[in-house]
Amino acid sequence: MGNTPTPLRETVRADDVNRAERMLSNKTSESRAKLINEDYSPDCILDSCKRVDGNALYYAVERNRVKMVELFLKHGGDIHSLGRYDETLLHCCGRVHGNVKLAKILIEHGADLKATDDLGRYPIHSASSSGFFNKTPFIEYLLSTMNEADARDYLNIKDFYGNTPLMTAVNAENIPVTQSLQLLGADDTIVNNNGQTAFDIAKERKAEMMEILESKQRLTDNSN
């Protein structure tokens, strides 16, 4: 584990695939894999802020470098690499940008949709938590890889705190994903470890979140 960015990591930052390929081409397969999978831990004086920021492959996923990810996987990159907070590559993809093409590559190489981070969150939770991009296509793709029963379970799967993806989206005030999860059939009556439903969490957030949940409930009531 190094505490200074490796030259390979710098090629990811610069999005220089040709340079990365040259760096890897003159090494043995074992050396290539070791270089790709070496974790990076930034310098920090305090123990409380020490962390592992992941290897070059994790960094490539985080920076949404699709061709770089393909190159690293070809040369021995570990599909089960972890970053900060025990986040997998698929967690990272869902949290940061939700690139479906990249998610497909990761899953085709064996990424585990059921892997959890250190808070018991699944990749679908990561995609639901961040509102910088609309992660609906990412979530829909994850669900499309499963049969109907498994997809329904995954849609309502809980983290260590009992929070479902819908609760996570509501808590993050992620409006597009909240609406999408509702349309996909997320159960808003599930209770977390604090005895809260998605509605209870919405009450603690901006009024628009409650309006979104209630509008879906009205549609359901009218259809019955």
Model pLDDT, residue 100: 98
Residue 205's pLDDT is 87
Backbone angles phi, psi at 60, to 5 degrees: -65, -40
Q: What is the pTM of this model?
A: 0.89
Q: Tell me the C-alpha to C-alpha distance, in Å, between residue 101 and each of 66, 78, 106, 107, 155.
A: 8, 18, 9, 10, 21
Among candidate residues 117, 94, 127, the one with its CA nearest the CA of residue 102? 94
SS3 (DSSP) at 2: strand
Q: Are 139 and 124 in contact (CB under 8 A)?
A: yes
Rounded-to-integer distance, Cα 63 and Cα 61, Å: 5
**pLDDT (0 to 100) of residue 223:** 53
Predicted local confidence at residue 221, as pLDDT? 52
Kindly give the confidence (pLDDT) of every residue in the chain, 224 residues in length, as a single tens digit, with 9 standing for 90 and above: 444 568 899 999 999 999 999 999 989 999 999 999 998 766 544 444 444 578 999 999 999 999 999 999 999 999 999 998 999 999 999 999 999 999 999 999 999 999 999 999 999 999 999 767 789 999 999 999 999 999 999 999 999 999 999 999 999 999 999 999 999 999 999 999 999 999 999 999 888 889 989 887 655 554 55
| Interatomic CA distance for residues 107 and 199, integer angstroms | 33
CA angle 102, 139, 156 (to 5 degrees): 140
Quote the CA–CA distance of 216 and 221 in Å, as a whole number.
Answer: 9
Q: Give me the pLDDT at residue 37, please.
A: 95
Please tell me the class of the 1-78 domain: mainly alpha
3-state secondary structure 159-191: CCCCCCHHHHHHHCCCHHHHHHHHHHCCCCCCC
Q: What is the pLDDT of residue 206?
A: 81
CB within 8 Å of 81: residues ≥ 6 apart: 37, 54, 55, 57, 58, 88, 89
Task: Return the domain boundaries, the chain.
Answer: 1-78
- What pLDDT is recorded for position 94? 96
Contact 118, 73 (CB under 8 A): no
pLDDT, tens digit (0-9, with 9 covering 90-100), for 191-215? 999 999 999 999 998 888 899 898 8
How high is the pLDDT of residue 6?
81
| Cα 134 from Cα 208, distance rounded (Å) | 17
Predicted pLDDT of residue 46: 45
